[in-house]
Amino acid sequence: MIATYLKKNWWKYALGVLFLIAVDLLQLIPPRLTGRLVDLLKSSEADENTLLIFILGVLAAAGGMMLSRFWWRFFIIGTAHRFSHYARLTLFEKLLSLTQDFYDRTLTGDLMARFTNDINAVRMMLGPAVVMATDAVVLTVITVAAMGGFVSWRLTVLASIPLPFLALISLTFGKMIHHRFRKVQEGFSEITHGAEESVSGIRVIKTFAVEDKMEERYSEVSLNYFKAQMSLIKVWGLFFPLIGMIGTSASLIALIIGGRMVIYDQITLGEFVTFNQYLGMLVWPMMAVGWVLNIIQRSRASYKRLMEILETKPSIQEPKNPVNVTIKGNIEVKNLDFAYPNTKRPVLKNINMKIEAGSFVGIAGKTGSGKSTIVKLLLKLYPVERGRIFFEGVDINDISSEHLRKYVTYVPQEAFLFSTTVKENIAFPVDKIEENEVKLYAQVAAVHDDIVELPQGYRTVVGERGVTLSGGQKQRITLARGLVKRSPVIILDDSLSAVDAQTEEAIINHLRESVAESTLIVVSHRLKVLSRADIIYVFDDGEIVEAGRHTELIERDGLYRRMYELQMLEERFEEDAGTD
């Protein structure tokens, strides 16, 4: 990824480095001029005009430096930030292309860290590290050359003896500082998270009367943060004095030996002044060596983590010659066995289903029996063998995911709303939609009445940053969103579990009439909802144990009937409890 980026942008770095070198060279001028001036002043050869000329010289150098500094920052740091932008987009595009099994095994927090910390670490290498490395090399070479060439090589060598320690100290301290800084960041996110959770969970805390326990826990988190800060302060506190001390010891050598050289007329007073200023300029590039090594080490690890994602192959291969079949809803499943890619444990065993276009299919079974798995496979969320699932007689492996999902709508049990208005949430799958159409689907999903009671009706912002909706309201809005697609196959995967039984039944019956031409596949744990289905498949431990109409299944003495009787019993209990 870096290589592709540099291929296009190397010239920006070249320009930036040129400006950086210009700054370094210009930096040499003022000390040299000051030294010359001191000598002229001392020998009384200078008048006010000479002074003016020198001042103009220093000003010109300063002006040149100002401009060059602007441009190297613009080119080097700017190009590095552009890389972050490029990396974020590349990563995001990749994430959109990855398949379900990748998300099954990846933690959201880990992904977020790659988007933020890791991209940032790589940017540090492409920006600040380039500057520091250039400075470290160029500034060191030319300053040392100027010190030796303009003043004295012997003095240069002797006064430089302590300087390599600067690199060593910045290297070791850089590591410590980074490590402790991480701890501070972690501590910070813990205190914000802790406070946020307590505030949002305050009702639970109050009802359980656990204020003391929460206070104790929070005080521990806060104390940890404080300790992390203190340990960082200590390292910083040591770092700067150490650097200062090494700088001072170099100056001391220069003072003692250089002073003697002035006394014995080996160098002039002006050269002595120049030398000391140059020596001060060497402190930064020496420290830079240490920082650069640290940055490179860290960003290499980050870069590896980024590439890991970029090199992940989606487990579903799109067909080379996709068949663009018009899907009406004739679906067939033949002897299908299935295990999730990351577990290998068989979850579906010998599944056979025959679904006709326009029919109403029910799927029933206990939790964990494989109901969601089979419908996810119909959506091609996980890879399936050839010869197992067919749409209109075409193997699912020959249909591209994009094409398939144009025709098949899936409404999951976990409703998810984006942080935007209700209207936009419902209209999400399509580019353009009329207001009254949105309302129409909201009515089919029996959520229109709820929506108009919200503070701003359809313009109310919901989701994480908006008003809080009940689980059932969220599910019904999610259902309306699915209906907007008007696809020939609609799959509801227990999508109304948080809605009460009567409403669910009413919604499904109404739905059946309003999208009569669509194939409707409904997974529900409430069997009454399925009573009008053309066929119900009963799943048990990954197998279809029964299939038939509701009335047929009730007559048989099987799993379906037992589940149904249990539900009737529960319903009666609830009614009794209600009349008390």
Ligand X SMILES: Nc1ncnc2c1ncn2[C@@H]1O[C@H](COP(=O)(O)OP(=O)(O)O)[C@@H](O)[C@H]1O
In angstroms, rounded to a whole number, what is the distance separating the alpha carbons of residues 444 and 451? 13
Residue 68 CB, shortest distance to ligand X, in Å, is 56
Question: Under the rule (CB under 6 A), what is the footprint of ligand X?
Answer: 104, 340, 343, 347, 365, 367-373
CB nearer to ligand X: give 347 or 508.
347
Q: Which does 555 bind (CB under 5 to 8 A by kind): Mg ion, ligand X, none?
A: none
468 binding partner (options ligand X, Mg ion, none; Cβ < 5 to 8 Å by kind)? none
Of residues 376 and 485, the one with the C-beta less far from ligand X = 376
Given Mg ion, ligand X, none, residue 106, with its beta carbon under 5 to 8 Å by kind, binds none
**Which residue's CB is nearer to Mg ion, number 282 or number 336?**
336
Nearest to 422 by CA among 465, 393, 451, 382: 451
In the complex, what is the shortest distance from the CB of residue 542 to ligand X, in angstroms, rounded to a whole number? 7
Cα–Cα distances in Å, from 514 out to 410, 440, 483?
17, 10, 10
Residue nearest to ligand X (CB): 372
Question: Could you tell me how many residues of this chain bind Mg ion (CB under 5 A)?
Answer: 1
SS3 56: helix
For residue 336 the two structure tokens come to: 């299908």
Q: Which does 518 bind (CB under 5 to 8 A by kind): Mg ion, ligand X, none?
A: none
370 binds, among Mg ion, ligand X, none (CB under 5 to 8 A by kind): ligand X
Task: Give the nearest residue (CB) to Mg ion.
Answer: 372
The CB-of-497 to ligand X minimum distance in angstroms stands at 11
Q: What are phi and psi of 384, to 5 degrees?
A: -125, 150
- Angstrom distance (rounded) from CA 113 to CA 115: 5
Q: Tokens for 162, please give them.
A: 């302590």
Find the part of the chain contacting Mg ion (CB under 5 A) among 63-71, 166-174, 364-372, 403-411: 364-372
Identify which of residues 187 and 370 has a Cβ nearer to ligand X in the complex: 370
497 binding Mg ion? (CB under 5 A): no
Choose the binding region for Mg ion from 283-291, 370-378, 433-441, 553-561 (rule: CB under 5 A). Answer: 370-378
Residue 444 Cβ vs ligand X, minimum distance, rounded to whole Å: 24
CA–CA distance, 472 with 165 (Å, rounded to integer): 66
Q: CB within 8 A of 124, min separation 6: which ones?
A: 80, 295, 298, 299
**CB neighbours of residue 539 within 10 Å:** 23
Closest to Mg ion by CB, 132 vs 523, is 523
When the beta carbons of 384 and 454 are compared against ligand X, the nearer one is 384
Burial class (CB in 10 A: 0-12, 13-18, 19+), 44: exposed
Q: Does 372 bind Mg ion (CB under 5 A)?
A: yes
- How many angstroms separate the CA atoms of 406 and 429, rounded? 10
Residue with tokens 């998270």: 193
| Helix residue spans in 282-410 (DSSP H) | 283-310, 371-378, 401-407
Residue 65, strand partner residues:
none
Instruction: Pick the closer one to ligand X by CB: 268 or 478.
Output: 478
Q: Which residues bind Mg ion (CB under 5 A)?
A: 372
